[in-house]
Structure 1
Amino acid sequence: MTLLDERIWSLFKRHWRQTLTYWSAFFSFGLCIAFLGPTILDLRCQTQSTLQQITWVFFSQQFFLLVGTSLGGLCKKTLSSSLLALFSCTLIISLVFAVIPLCYHVLLLSVAMAIAGLAMGVIDTVANLQLVKLYQKDSAIFLQALHFFIGLGALVSPLVANPFLAEDSCVLGANWTANSSSSSPSDLEHLRSSLAGHGVAIGNISQYPLHIDGIVVTRVSYAFWIMALINLPVPAAVLALIYHERLLPCSDNSQRLIDRDSLSSTSPSPTGDSGQGHGSLFGCCNPAQLQGRPASFFILYAVGGAILFITDGIIGSYAGFVYTYAVSPPLLMGHKTAGYLDSSFWASITVGRLAFIYLSYRYTSPRLLTFSLVGVILVQCLLLIFYTSTVFLFIGTCILGLCISSVFPSMLAFTEDMLDYKGCATTVLVTSASTGEMMLQLLVGSVIHSQGSYAFLLCCTISSFIGFCLFLLLLYVQHSHRNCSTDSSQNTDMNMKEKPETGGS
C-alpha cells in the first residue's frame, strides 16, 4: 500500500469488517435520499394526487430524517446496539422501497417516506459516530470515504429509475382530447428537474396542467423493486457482521469479539471518560457531564454545529434551486440542458469526496476546511460576477461541488478531535447539518419567490461568508480551549504532587 502508511493500513485491516459495514450503510442512505425527485411525478400519478399534495412527501422525509439524526445517538452504549440499529434501518429502507408501489394514497406514501427518513437519520448518526469512535484521531480519512458512499448511492438511484419514468402523462382519460390530455414531454422534464431539489419551488411550477382522474399507466413500480433488491445486500452484510462477532442473542456472550476488540482499540480520553459521552442530542446536555466545563467547550459545539448548518444548507439550496435559476432570466437556459446542472453538482461532490480520501491523509482537517471554505467563497463570488454566462454556471457548479464536498467529514473529525472524542459532537453536528439542509432551503425559496432568481446566488454567497467567519471564530475558540485544558492539566499535576506531602504531615 503506497498511498497510506503502515499504521493506517493496519488499522483498516484490523477493523475492515465494521468499516465496510458502515460504508455500505451509507450507500443505502444515498440510494434512498436521491430517488424521490426523479420519480415524484410518477408517484403523483400512482396516488392520483395534485402536485401540491405530493410534495408533502418531501417534507415528511426531511422532517423525520432530522428526528432520526437526533434519535440515532441513543444507540450508544455498545457496538452491538449500534449494529442492531443499522440492521433494522437498512432493512426498513429495502421494505419501504418494496412497499412504495403499493401506496395508492398520498397519505400512505407520506407515512412510508417518514419511516424511511427516520431510518436514514439513524444511519447517518450511528455510522458517523461509530467510525469516529473506532478510529478517533485517524478518523478523517475514513469519514471522507464514508461520505463518498452517499454520493455513490445517490448516483445509482436515478440511473435505476430513469428507464421506468413516464415520457408523457401517466394518467389517461377516455374523453380527453389530444391537445388537453397531457402536458408535453418537455413540460414533464421541466417539472422533474424543478422538483429534484426536494420540491420547494412548487409555487413557480403549479401552472402546469396535470390530470388526476383516469387510468394510471406508470411503470415506476419496477424501479422501486429493483432498488429494494439492490439495497438488500446491505442489511445482509450487517447481519453477517453481527453473526461473525457473536452478537446475536443465541451467541455465547463471553466470546463477543467486537466488544473485546473495541476495548483494546479505544484508548481512554485524557479526562478518563472511555466513550460514555456518546449519546443522543438530549443526552449530551446531561448536567452531570457538563459540570465544570469551560465556556469554550460549549462554544465549540455551537460554532461547529452552526458551520455545518450553513454549509449543508448551501448544498441543499444549491441543489434545489440551481435549475430554477438557470431557466429564469437572464440565462433562460433550455430545460433539458439545465437539468444536467443538478446531476453535475452531485457528481462533483462524489468525485470531490473520493479525492479528499487521499488529501485527508496528507493534510490536517483545519487546512482542508480552510481550502474548502475559501474555495466556496471564491466560486460564489465568480458566479455573481459572471451571472449571465451559461458556460461558467456549469464550471462554477462543478468547482463548488468539489470544494464543499469535504466540509462535513472534515468538520466532524476536527470538532471531535478538539473535544477529545466524547461522541456528543457527532450527534450535535449531524443534527445541525440536517436542520440547515431543511431550513435554509425554505428560507432561500421564500427569498427567490419574493425577490427573483438572482437572489439565489446572493443568498448562497452571503451564507458562505458567514460560514467562513464562523470557522475563523472556531479556530480562535479552539486556541482558547486548548489553553484552558493545558492550565487545567497543569493544576491537576500540581495537586497530585502535593498530596503525598500533605498525607505525611
Structure 2
Amino acid sequence: MWWDERLLGLFKKNLQPTLTYWSVFFSFGLCIAFLGPTLLDLRCQTHSSLQDITWVFFAQQFCLLVGSSLAGAFKKTMRLCLFILFISSLVISLVFVIIPFCGHVGVLAMVMAIAGLAMGCIDTISNMQLVKIYQQESAVFLQVLHFFVGFGALLSPLIADPFLSDTNCIQSNITQNGSANLEHIRNSLVPHHPGNHSRFVLPLQGPTATRVSYAFWIMAAINLPVPIAVFFLMYQKGMVPGFTHRTGTLLSADELAMETQKESDRSDPGVAAQENQSQLGSHGLSLCCQTTKFLKAPYTFFAIHGCAALVLFMSDGIVGEYSAFIYSYSVEQPLLLTHKTAGYLPSLFWGLITLGRLISIPMSYKMTPRSMLFINLIGIMVTFLFLILTQNSVTGLFIGTALLGLFLSSIFPSMLAYTEDLLNYKGCATTLLVTGAGMGEMFLQILVGMVIQTQGNYSFLVCGVSLSSLALTLFIVLLVLDSIHPRTSGGSSRKPPELGREAVPYQR
C-alpha cells in the first residue's frame, strides 16, 4: 500500500487546510480553461473582431504572472495567506457572474485581468503553503493539488459546450458564409498570435443570439463553495472579525510546518542532533526572509533557483505551444485531418495530462521527485522524436499526443518538491517557479507561432524537440548543482524510498 499510517496521520492532522488548498486549486483550474471554447460567443457578446477579442487572453495571462509574483510577499503568515485566498476565490465566482454583462471588449479584458490576478495569487500561495506544511512529504500532496487544477480545467469546457453557438451568434447577411466552419475557427484560435486570425472574416454588426451566459453562471455556482470553505477555515482559526469561535491558535505557515515536522520525527533518534547542527551552522533556514543572509548565500543557491525556473519555463511552454498549435498542425500537410477528427487532439492532450496527474499521486510516494523528473523529461524528448519519425501517421500523432500529456503532467509539482528539498522547504523557490512556468506558457507560444509562420508546419515538431532537449540539459545542470550545493545550508531530511518509511532520515 502506497499510503502508510504515518503519512495518513500527517494528512489527518492538517486535513482542513489541505482540503481547502485543493479546492481553491480546483477553482483555479475552472477559471483557466473556459476562455478558449467560449471566445467566439464572447466575441459576439462584445461585437469585436477576432484580433481584438484575443487580447483578453493576454490580459488574463499577463495579470496571472503579476499575481504569481506579488503573492510571494504574502508568505509570512497563514492568516494573511488565507485572507488572500478567500478574496481570490470569491473574485473568481464574481467574475463568472459579471462576464455575461460585459458588452465591450475593453471591459471584458479588465474583468479577465482581475481574474488573472486572483488566479496568480491562488497558484503561488496554494503551492507554497502545502510545501511548508508537509515539507519532505509534500510531493504526494502537490501531485493531488495539481490533479485538482487539471480536473477543473477539464470540467469547465464540458460545462460550456452545451451552451456554445452552433451557428454564428451575430445574425447578419454573411452569417451563412462564416457558420459552415465555425468549429474549425474555434479550434484554430491561438492566444497571443493575432496573425493566425486574419484569414477569418466574421460579422461585427447585427442582433446577438448566444446562451453562453448560462455556462458562466453554472460555473459561478459550482465555484461558490470554494470561498465558503476558505471562510470556514478562517472562522475555525478565529480570524474572522466579530467572531470569537476558536478551535486552536492560528499558527504561521512556518510554525505549522515545524509542528508537523516535530510530529513526524518524534520517533527518530537523530533529530535532536540534526536540529542542533542546523541551528549552529545553517544560514538556509531563514534565507528567504532575511536580506543579509540572502546576500551571503552560495552561488549554487541562486543557480538552483534559475535552473529550476528555466526547466519549468520550457516544460510549461511546451504545454502551451502544443495545445495551441496541434490542431492547426494536424489539419495541414502532410496529415490533412478533418476538422472533427483534429478537434479531438487538444481534448486528448488535456485529458491525459489530468490522468497523468492522477497516476502520479501514488507514484510520487514510491519515487523521488528527482527520479520522476528525469523519466518525464526524457519521455518528452523521446515522444517528440517519435512524432517526427511518424509524422505521416495519424495513429502515431494520437499516440504521441497521449504520451506527451502523460509525461508533462507531473513535471511542475515534482520540480517544486525537488527544488524546495534542496532549499530546505522554506517556500523560497515557489514564487520564482510559478512565475517562470507562466512566462514559458505565454512567451514560447508566441515564439513557436512566429517560427511556424515563417518556417512552415514541420517546424512545430522541431521546436518541440529543441525545447525538450534544452529542458533536459538544464535539468542535468540542476543535478550537478545538487551535488555541489552545501548541505550545511539546512540539511534536508528527505527519506530515500528504498529505506522503510520509518527509517532515520539521511544526511544528503
Common fold by TM > 0.5? yes
One-letter identity of the residue aligned with 1:451: Q
Q: Structure 1 residue 264 and structure 2 residue 259: aligned? A: yes
Correspondence for 2:176 among 173, 177, 182? 182
CA contact (8 A) 2:238 2:246 kept: no
Please report how far the alpha carbon of residue 22 of structure 1 lies from its aligned counterpart in structure 2 after TM superposition: 0.5
Q: Does 1:144 align with 2:143?
A: yes
- Equivalent residue for 2:235? 243
1:205 is displaced (CA, Å) by: 3.5
In structure 1, how many angstroms separate the alpha carbons of the residues matched to 2:285 and 2:344? 45
State the distance in 1 between where 2:483 and 2:420 align.
15
1:486–1:30 CA distance, 2 compared to 1 (3 A):
closer
User: Which whole-Å CA distance do the structure 1 matches of 2:450 and 2:294 have between them?
Assistant: 39
TM-fit CA distance, 1:199: 2.3
| Alignment match, 2:214 | 222
For residues 60 and 363 of structure 2, the distance between their equivalents in structure 1, rounded to whole angstroms, comes to 33
Question: In structure 2, what is the Cα distance between the partners aligned to 1:378 and 1:446?
Answer: 24
Query: Which amino acid letter does the alignment assign opposite residue 232 of structure 1?
Result: L
- Segments of structure 1 that go 5 or more residues without pairing to the other structure are 279-283, 488-505
Partner of 1:480: 484
Which AA in structure 1 matches 2:416? L
**Deviations 1:242-298 (Å, cap 9, x if unpaired)?**
1112121334598643418715225689356797556xxxxx7x6423132111111
Does the alignment pair 1:362 with 2:357? no
Secondary structure of the residue that 2:216 maps to in structure 1? helix
Matches within 5 A, 1:73-472: 73-173=72-172, 176=173, 180-195=174-189, 198-252=190-244, 256-259=248-251, 262=256, 264-265=259-260, 270=278, 276=286, 287-472=291-476
Q: TM-score, normalised by structure 1?
A: 0.90
Provide the residue aligned with 1:502 in structure 2: none
8 Å contact kept, 2:285–2:424: no
Q: Equivalents in 2 of 1:256, 1:410: separation in Å?
A: 32
Report the CA distance shift for 1:170/1:301 in structure 2 as closer, same or farther (over 3 A). same
Query: Counterpart of 2:231 in structure 1: which amino acid?
Result: L
Q: What letter is aligned with 1:31? A: L
Q: Deviations over 1:57-76 (max 9, x none)?
A: 00001100000100111211
- Using the alignment, how far apart are the partners of 1:273 and 1:24 within structure 2? 35
Contact between 1:277 and 1:423, CA under 8 Å: does it hold in 2? no
Q: Within 2, Cα distance between the matches of 1:400 and 1:185? A: 33
Q: CA RMSD in A?
A: 2.0
CA contact (8 A) 2:318 2:464 kept: yes
After TM superposition, the structure 1 stretch with the greater mean CA deviation from structure 2, 286-295 or 43-52, is: 286-295
Change (3 A) 1:186 1:368: farther
Paired residues of 2:100 and 2:213 also in contact (CA < 8 A):
yes
Q: Work out the CA distance in 1 between the residues paired with 2:135 and 2:393.
A: 45
Identical pairs, percent = 51
CA contact (8 A) 1:47 1:103 kept: yes
* Residues 254, 193 of structure 1: alpha-carbon distance in 2 compared, 3 angstrom cutoff: closer
Distance 2:347 2:287 in 1: 39
3-state SS of paired residue (2:278):
coil
Q: Is the 8 A contact 1:64 1:118 kept in 2?
A: yes
TM-score normalised per structure 2: 0.89
Alignment correspondent of 2:55: 56
Q: Give how far 1:390 is off.
A: 1.0
Determine if contact 1:448/1:455 at 8 Å carries over to the other structure.
Answer: yes
Which amino acid in 2 is paired with 1:410? S
Deviation at 1:363, TM superposition (A): 0.6
Once the two structures are superposed, the pairs formed by residues 483-498 of structure 1 within 5 Å of their partners are 485=489
> What is the rounded CA distance, in whole Å, between the counterparts of 2:191 and 2:205 in structure 1?
22
**Aligned to 1:331, what secondary structure does the other structure show?**
coil
Distance 1:473 1:131 in 2: 27
- What is the letter of the counterpart of residue 260 of structure 2? S
Cross-structure match for 1:494 = none
Match of 1:57, SS state, is helix
> Contact 1:200/1:320 (CA < 8 Å) preserved in 2?
no
Aligned equivalents of 2:77, 2:184: Cα separation in 1: 48
- Please tell me whether the aligned partners of residues 25 and 86 of structure 1 are also in contact (alpha carbons under 8 angstroms): yes
- Counterpart for residue 66 of structure 1: 65
Q: Quick one: which amino acid aligns to residue 278 of structure 2?
A: P
Judged with a 3 Å threshold, the aligned counterparts in structure 2 of structure 1 residues 348 and 486 are, in CA distance, closer, same or farther, namely: closer
The change in CA–CA distance for 1:247 and 1:273 in structure 2 (over 3 A counts) is farther
- The aligned amino acid for 1:76 is K
| SS of residue paired to 2:175 | coil
Asked whether the 8 Å contact 2:144–2:357 carries over to 1, the reply is: yes
Partner of 2:267: none
Cα offset, 1:423, TM superposition? 1.2
2:316 is paired with a residue of what secondary structure?
A: helix
Kept after mapping to 2: 8 A contact 1:327/1:335: yes
Aligned to 1:31: 30
Aligned partner letter, 1:244 = Q
Q: Provide the rounded CA distance (Å) in 1 between the counterparts of 2:102 and 2:109.
A: 9
- In structure 2, what is the Cα distance between the partners aligned to 1:393 and 1:45? 34
**Residue aligning to 1:14:** 13
Residues paired across the two proteins, number: 473
Query: In 1, are the aligned partners of 2:353 and 2:406 still within 8 Å (CA)?
Result: yes
